């Protein structure tokens, strides 16, 4: 196929390009450490969308022919999130408490330790939580949700300090997890989840709701919106309608 600049431009204009800065991370730990999780969503400076590799064994189908790699299990790499720290290091405290649910570290003990019996691991189903990475499009529409299932922090990295600079203090936390779940919301696909928002300012209350093909808006007491009908395939090509309210 001959290269065509207009085709390339049209493709980019249709689906856009994803940007690394359009994301948020939500940690959900077992309860008693879940009170500050909403504030931490705005302090996740960097994260990774996880991938997977398939472990394989070599197998030959029949007596002759090439050797084929056959997958037998999936392997996941650990995922690291970087958090901007508050002055009182409450984000570090959050993960220290989470790790205390995993293993009796002794970090919060007062007085001297009386033996190694304190340093014991806990039950797996008592300390696992989840980590959700949400990726947004340029217009702020939710496009991808990645959820790490049975996640837990295995590494709380050291924090560097020094008199030579006044850089922002950050904390790297590495998570292990069993597997991840995915939800994609393509620009050319019908919405499968409800999306919306609300703001309160000098101009009054503004809100919006997107539920499938239904779009509703509230602006200072006035409601407006539209309903998009399913696309119909006809001899003249695909035809769809949008009814405004």
pLDDT for residue 180:
96
- Quick one: tokens of 245? 């309210």
The answer to whether 127 touches 102, Cβ cutoff 8 Å, is yes
155 half-sphere exposure, CB direction, 13 A CA radius: 14
Question: Residue 191 pLDDT > 50, yes or no?
Answer: no
Residue 138 has pLDDT above 90, yes or no: no
pLDDT band of residue 220 (cuts 50, 70, 90) is: low
> How much is the average pLDDT of 155-165?
94
- What CA–CA distance (Å, rounded) separates 113 from 118? 8
pTM above 0.85, yes or no: no
More confident residue, 140 or 73: 73
DSSP 82-150: EEEPPTT-HHHHHHHHHHHHHB---TT--S----GGG--B--GGGT-EEEEEEEE-TTS-EEEEEEEEE
d(CA 122, CA 221): 53
Burial 139-174, CB ≥16 within 10 A → b, else e? eeebbbebbbeebbbeeeeeeeeeeeeeeebbbebe
pLDDT at 91: 95
Lowest mean pLDDT among 163-167, 175-179, 207-211, 231-235: 231-235
Is it the case that residue 68 has pLDDT exceeding 50?
Answer: yes
Those residues with Cβ within 8 angstroms of residue 68's Cβ, 6 or more apart along the chain or in another chain: 58, 59, 60, 61
Task: For the beta carbon of residue 177, count every other beta carbon within 10 angstroms.
Answer: 20
Instruction: Give the span between the Cα atoms of 15 and 186, in whole angstroms.
Output: 8
Q: Which SS3 state, helix, strand or coil, does residue 6 take? A: helix
Query: What is the percent of the chain with per-residue pLDDT over 70, rounded to a whole number?
Result: 72
pLDDT of amino acid 219? 64
How does residue 125 score in pLDDT terms, banded at 50, 70 and 90? Answer: very high
Backbone angles phi, psi at 92, to 5 degrees: -65, -40
| Average pLDDT of every residue of the chain | 82
CATH topology for 5-189 is: Pnp Oxidase; Chain A (2.30.110)
Would the pLDDT of 189 be above 80?
A: no
239 pLDDT more than 80: no
Mean pLDDT of 46-73: 93
Pick the residue with more confidence: 139 or 72? 72
For the chain, domain boundaries: 5-189, 190-245
Report which of residues 14 and 123 the model is more confident about: 123
The pLDDT assigned to 17 comes to 87
């Amino acid at each position: 196929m001959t290269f065509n600049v207009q085709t390339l431009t049209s493709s980019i204009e249709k689906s856009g390009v994803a940007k690394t800065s359009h994301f948020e991370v939500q940690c959900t730990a077992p309860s008693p450490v879940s009170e500050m999780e909403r504030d931490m969503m705005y302090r996740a400076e960097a994260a990774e969308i996880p991938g997977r590799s398939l472990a394989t064994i070599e197998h030959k189908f029949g007596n002759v022919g090439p050797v084929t790699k056959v997958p037998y299990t999936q392997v996941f790499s650990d995922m690291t999130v970087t958090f901007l720290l508050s002055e009182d290091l409450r984000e570090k405290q959050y993960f220290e408490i989470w790790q205390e649910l995993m293993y009796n570290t002794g970090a919060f003990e007062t007085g001297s330790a009386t033996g190694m019996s304190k340093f014991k691991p806990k039950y797996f189903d008592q300390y696992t939580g989840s980590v959700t990475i949400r990726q947004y499009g340029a217009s702020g529409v939710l496009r991808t949700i990645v959820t790490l299932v049975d996640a837990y922090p295995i590494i709380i990295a050291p924090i560097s300090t020094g008199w030579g600079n006044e850089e922002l203090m950050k904390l790297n936390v590495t998570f292990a997890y069993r597997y991840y779940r995915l939800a994609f919301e393509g620009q050319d696909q019908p919405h499968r989840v409800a999306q919306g928002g609300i703001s309160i300012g000098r101009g009054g209350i503004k809100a919006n709701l997107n539920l499938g093909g239904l779009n509703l808006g509230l602006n200072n007491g006035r409601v407006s919106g539209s309903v998009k009908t399913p696309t119909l395939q006809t001899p003249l090509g695909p035809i769809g309608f949008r009814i405004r309210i």
